[in-house]
Amino acid sequence: MSAIKIAENIYAVGVKDPGLAVFDIVMATKYGTTYNSYLIKGTEKTALIDGVKKEFTDEFLSNIEEIIPVDKIDYLIVNHDEPDHSGAIPAILEKNPQIKLFCSASAVPFLKNIINREADITGFKDKATLELGGKTLEFKLMPYMHWPDTMMEYLHEDKILFSNDGFATHFCSDCLYADEVKEDIDHEFFYYFDSIMRPFTAYIRRDMPKLDEYDIRMIAPSHGPIHRQDTAKYLDRYKNWSVDKSEGKNQITIFYASNYGNTKKMAEFFGTQLEKAGYNITLIDAGKLNIDNAREQIETSKAVMIGTPTFNGDAVAPIWNLVNLFSTVYSVGKKAVVFGSYGWSGEGVKLVAARLTGLKLKVFEENFRARLIPSAEEIKEMENYTKKVVDFIG
Ligand code: FEO
């Protein structure tokens, strides 16, 4: 890929990676991806926005040098330190040790650990500006789109939002712009959000209004095609996809796994009791888990209950498969209650509670365990326990 002009004195200088099969270990990328970078020439200063993955450094430098020698660039703006964007930065510094690096304040330590050398680094606060001469960049801190360091910038004169991972797509083709793509780019745009951004929806919901004040005519992300038509559509999608799905639903989902039916009976008992207390209850057998549905249920529930038996000193595999889903959606602070039937020593419940705590859910400190088939006495205890759960969930 060569340097391509996208507006007056603004060039796309990134690279293509059509062979990428998996991104960040977890996301299949059947269309590969691109690592986008943008060069902006003002009348006084020149800025480069973002680098590319290390393996593509030579091609990247060559693209830049079609426009300007690397050692003539004044500023390098680092929107996000993940190595798919920062891998080539040491090579830029090698050629241009005097270049000034700009990033968010929280990115400074990351950046130092990536370049591992002395450099002129400035950490920006929200709304800081940088004047290039007829090109004015305003910086927007957008933490967790996709890392805590992430920022974007709005170029006032050209009305372009350089959005880094935000509004990106893992999609590599000959098309520079989304409106030229023949494939189902909307699906890929959602798939990217679902895989990369969904664990951070609370932050996205909080920060999207920061962009409302700008007249955004073009969105130039760090992966995939540029959006130059109907930019509001892409902004609105992020707003819609990051709403708080649990609001107003009073929903509790009770996930359980059960071999001999005892943990299932406990789940049903708790479900009935909590329904009487006014909650909307959904029971889901983790042994028949539909991943998409389970993720949706976690998001739409104000609290979850997880029932696991203990086999061989551990919780059972379907429950661990379920627990693995909590980090794929925003679940920090979600209230959780753990219970289960057991035969010998009942470690499963404690292990699940500890893991959920590690994932930053708010776990009810008192778990409930019943030995084998819950007795009449244990059922009475479960009634009392339900009252405590109601107090905890609120
Ligand atoms: Fe494209 Fe979070 O890196």
Q: pLDDT tens, 116-168?
A: 999 999 999 999 999 999 999 999 999 999 999 999 999 999 999 999 999 99
Separation between Cα atoms, residue 161 and residue 167, nearest integer Å: 10
One domain, residues 163 and 213: yes
Domain count, the chain: 2
Q: Look at residue 163 and tell me if it is in a domain.
A: yes
Residue 175: CB partners within 8 Å, gap ≥ 6? 181, 225
One domain, residues 255 and 325: yes
One domain, residues 49 and 174: yes
- Pocket, ligand 1, Cβ cutoff 6 A: 80, 82, 84-85, 146-147, 165, 222-223
Residue nearest to atom 1 of ligand 1 (CA): 165
pLDDT reading at 223 higher than 90: yes
Average pLDDT of the residues of the chain: 97
pLDDT for 284 equals 98
Distance 349 CA to ligand 1 centre (A): 36
One domain, residues 257 and 229: no
Q: What does the pLDDT look like over 236-262, one tens digit per residue?
A: 999 999 999 999 999 999 999 999 999
Distance 82 CA to ligand 1 centre (A): 5
Token output for 280: 């909307």
pLDDT reading at 1 higher than 90: no
pLDDT reading at 38 higher than 90: yes
Q: Read off the pTM.
A: 0.96
pLDDT for 148 equals 97
pLDDT reading at 393 higher than 90: yes
Confidence of residue 12 (pLDDT cuts 50, 70, 90): very high
Confidence of residue 6 (pLDDT cuts 50, 70, 90): very high
Count of other CB atoms within 10 angstroms of residue 343: 12
**Cα 132 to Cα 11, 156, 246, 347, distances in angstroms:** 15, 11, 45, 62
Q: Look at residue 20 and tell me if it is in a domain.
A: yes
* CATH number, position 83: 3.60.15.10
One domain, residues 313 and 196: no
Give the domain range for residue 189: 4-241
pLDDT for 346 equals 92
pLDDT for 306 equals 98
What length is written for the chain?
A: 394
| Mean pLDDT in residue range 319-324 | 98
One domain, residues 59 and 137: yes
SS3 340: strand
Q: What does the pLDDT look like over 158-190, one tens digit per residue?
A: 999 999 999 999 999 999 999 999 999 999 999
**Residue 316 contacts residue 344 (beta carbons within 8 Å):** no
Percentage of the chain surpassing pLDDT 70? Answer: 100
Q: Look at residue 246 and tell me if it is in a domain.
A: no
Q: Which atom of ligand 1 is nearest to the CA of 165?
A: 1
- Rama region for 60: left / alpha / beta (φ>0; ψ in -120 to 50; rest): alpha
Q: Which atom of ligand 1 is nearest to the CA of 168?
A: 1
Distance 252 CA to ligand 1 centre (A): 34
Distance 355 CA to ligand 1 centre (A): 27
